[in-house]
């Protein structure tokens, strides 16, 4: 169980009221949405992607790229917005990424992305809210 204290905390009932059932399954129970199922996968406008759980800015659209995986992928997060932990589920070792403000599960980060970082933040689209640039 995660015992880390986050700046934004909610009761289970508050999370369930704020999130859709799919968002709750992904963000609070470390689930994964079906690949290719989220409209944000195809979002190409300039803007910012925010955490649905607490509205923290997570990724800028200029760092989004098409990875071919079926999930929105980014080179690098907004500084300080993402924390990582080791995920040993499903018989493999991966690096989970979660919101540094509310602890919500977002997806995983892999070391197979394009330059300049070589990273691929593979994010569940249901965990994100997109706001176009003004």
Active site residues: 122
Residue 17, C-beta contacts closer than 8 angstroms, at least 6 positions apart: none
Question: Which residue is associated with the tokens 């790229």?
Answer: 65
Strand order from edge to edge, sheet including 47-51: 57-60, 47-51, 128-132
């Amino acid at each position: 169980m995660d015992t880390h204290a986050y700046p934004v905390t909610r009761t289970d009932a508050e999370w369930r009221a704020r999130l859709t059932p799919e968002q709750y399954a992904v963000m609070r129970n470390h689930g994964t949405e079906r690949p290719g199922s989220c409209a944000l996968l195809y979002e190409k406008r300039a803007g910012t992607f925010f955490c649905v759980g607490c509205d923290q800015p997570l990724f800028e659209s200029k760092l989004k790229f098409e990875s071919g995986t079926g999930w929105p992928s980014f080179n690098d997060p907004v500084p300080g917005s993402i924390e990582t932990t080791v995920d040993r589920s499903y018989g493999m070792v991966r690096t989970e990424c979660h919101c540094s403000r509310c602890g919500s599960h977002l997806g995983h980060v892999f070391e197979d992305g394009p330059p300049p970082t070589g990273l691929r933040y593979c994010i569940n689209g249901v965990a994100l809210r997109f706001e176009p640039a003004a």
